[in-house]
Amino acid sequence: MAELKATVKGKFLESEPMSKHTSYGIGGPAWAYITPKDKHDLGNLLRFATESDIPVYFVGSGSNLLVADEGIDGIVITLGKSFTHLDISNNHVYAETGVMLGRMVKECIKRNLSGLESMIGVPGTLGGALIMNAGAFGGEISNYLQKVEVMTLTGDLKNYSVDEIDFSYRHSSFNEDEIIISADFEMQETTSAVIQEKRSLASQGRKKNQPLRFRSAGSVFKNPKPDLAAGYLIDQAGLKGTRSGDAEISEKHANFFINHGSATANDIATLIRIARKEVKEKFDIILELEIKTLGFDKDVFTP
Ligand SMILES: Cc1cc2nc3c(=O)[nH]c(=O)nc-3n(C[C@H](O)[C@H](O)[C@H](O)COP(=O)(O)OP(=O)(O)OC[C@H]3O[C@@H](n4cnc5c(N)ncnc54)[C@H](O)[C@@H]3O)c2cc1C
């Protein structure tokens, strides 16, 4: 630990509760939770971890993340709060992946650059959005992407053009061993009226349908088909309002599982198993997780 601390110039937190870094407010301690200062610092950290055989995990702002109560035995690296450079020139956007998606969306809207306005209200960093191919109300982050820059576990930089990565609904084919550090986009210039209309449709839809007053990680499962929502299936299985400890399948949106205050990861995992079991029995459909999980045994989410 001392040697690792000496390597890192950025912010270093030891035995850091991940509950402080997830939108669920859930998760046990990470052995080390590190925000590297810059690319050089990140490279040194990754090389040190690789040479010392310490596992590393990348996170953004934890808004799509369920972390086990037992925590994470390794180094958790986030670029949020340090890799926050955003540069917009004409319709070209360059952003480091610690930039909050909401900031990027607002800066584009200000300049009448269209493409991301339907994602207003999606929490998280650009890094998380790229991995998840985050999207809302018809728009996806990959739609206007040109290229990304990543760093490997040996601290080397690599670039990928958008055609080298597969993107589909809440899926990207990025290599799990590479941390995305920046991305370039070409947005579309349009009028303020067009953008404002899409933006307000998205904001209203979100307020109407989502339990935004409570802690959650957004949708727990992927929709099995574009016209078949996971929330509809969970609702039809009669599960709205089902509780495990302080966790609940939301009455407002059955694909949102909410933390009323002291829910544990085990509580959420229990609800996941219940939803999967009931939906399988009733509709013969196996729901696939949209949220990412860290620190669990493989079978925890299988009914
Ligand atoms: C109230 C609410 C509403 C939501 N609505 C939507 C919605 O409408 N649409 C939608 O798509 N999502 C939605 N989400 C989910 C979430 O906001 C998105 O998935 C978001 O893009 C996650 O970003 P993050 O920075 O929090 O990523 P995290 O949750 O921290 O991480 C997500 C994944 O990305 C990886 N990752 C993060 N940063 C990097 C990086 N730099 N390099 C490599 N890997 C990285 C992590 O390892 C993890 O696998 C919602 C969540 C909440 C709480």
Q: Write the pLDDT tens digit of every residue in 62-103.
A: 999 999 999 999 999 999 999 999 999 999 999 999 999 999
Mean pLDDT, the chain, whole residue set: 95
Q: Which residue of the set 118, 170, 182, 199 is catalytic? A: 170
Q: Do residues 70 and 28 touch, judged by C-beta distance below 8 A? A: yes
63, 82, 219, 250: the active-site residue: 219
Q: List pLDDT tens digits, range 169-225.
A: 999 999 999 999 999 999 999 989 989 888 888 888 888 888 889 999 999 999 999
Ligand 1 pocket residues where CB is under 6 Å:
23, 58-65, 79, 97, 122-125, 127-129, 131-132, 134-136, 179-180, 210, 212, 216-218, 292
Q: Do 204 and 92 have their domain in common?
A: yes
Task: Tell me: do 161 and 268 sit in the same domain.
Answer: no
Q: Lowest mean pLDDT of 11-15, 265-269, 290-294, 296-300, name the range.
A: 296-300
Considering the domain architecture, whether residues 189 and 102 belong to the same structural domain is answered as yes
Residue-level pLDDT at 199: 87
* Pocket perturbation via mutation, ligand 1, pick of 23, 85, 122, 268 by most ligand atoms within 8 A of CB: 122
Note whether 166 and 217 are same-domain residues: no
The verdict on 94 and 195 lying in the same domain is yes
Same domain for 199 and 215, yes or no, is no
* CATH number where 284 lies: 3.90.78.10
In angstroms, what is the span from residue 60 Cα to ligand 1's centroid? Answer: 7
List Cβ neighbours of 230 (8 Å cut-off, separation of 6 or more). 219, 220, 221, 222, 223, 224, 254, 255, 279, 287
Same domain, 251 and 204: no
Position in ligand 1 atom list of the atom nearest CA 101: 21
CATH of the domain at 200: 3.30.465.10
Look up the CATH number of the domain holding residue 55.
3.30.43.10
Q: Is the pLDDT of residue 142 over 90?
A: yes
Residues 233 and 169 grouped into a single domain: no
* d(CA 276, ligand 1 centre) in Å: 22
Structural domain boundaries, residue 235:
211-301
Query: Do residues 234 and 249 touch, judged by C-beta distance below 8 A?
Result: yes
Told to judge if 219 belongs to the known catalytic residues of this protein, a careful annotator would answer yes
250 shares its domain with 151: no
Q: Are residues 93 and 198 in the same domain?
A: yes
- What's the chain's Rg over C-alpha atoms? 19
- What is the rounded average pLDDT of the residues 124-133? 98
Model's pTM, two decimal places? 0.96
The rounded Å distance from CA 6 to ligand 1 centre is 30
Considering its fold, how many domains does the chain have in total? 3
**Range 1-16 average pLDDT:** 93
74 and 142 part of one domain: no
Q: Could you say which DSSP state residue 296 is in? A: -
Q: CB-based contacts of 193: which residues, under 8 Å, 6+ apart?
A: none
Query: Considering only CA atoms, which of 182, 254, 244 is closest in space to residue 218?
Result: 254
Residue 63 alpha carbon, nearest atom of ligand 1: 26
Tell the burial category of 13 from Cβ atoms under 10 Å away from its Cβ (0-12, 13-18, 19+). middle
pLDDT confidence of residue 137:
87
Three-class SS of residue 78?
A: strand
Asked about 290 being catalytic, the answer comes back as yes
Nearest-atom number in ligand 1 for the CA of 136 is 8
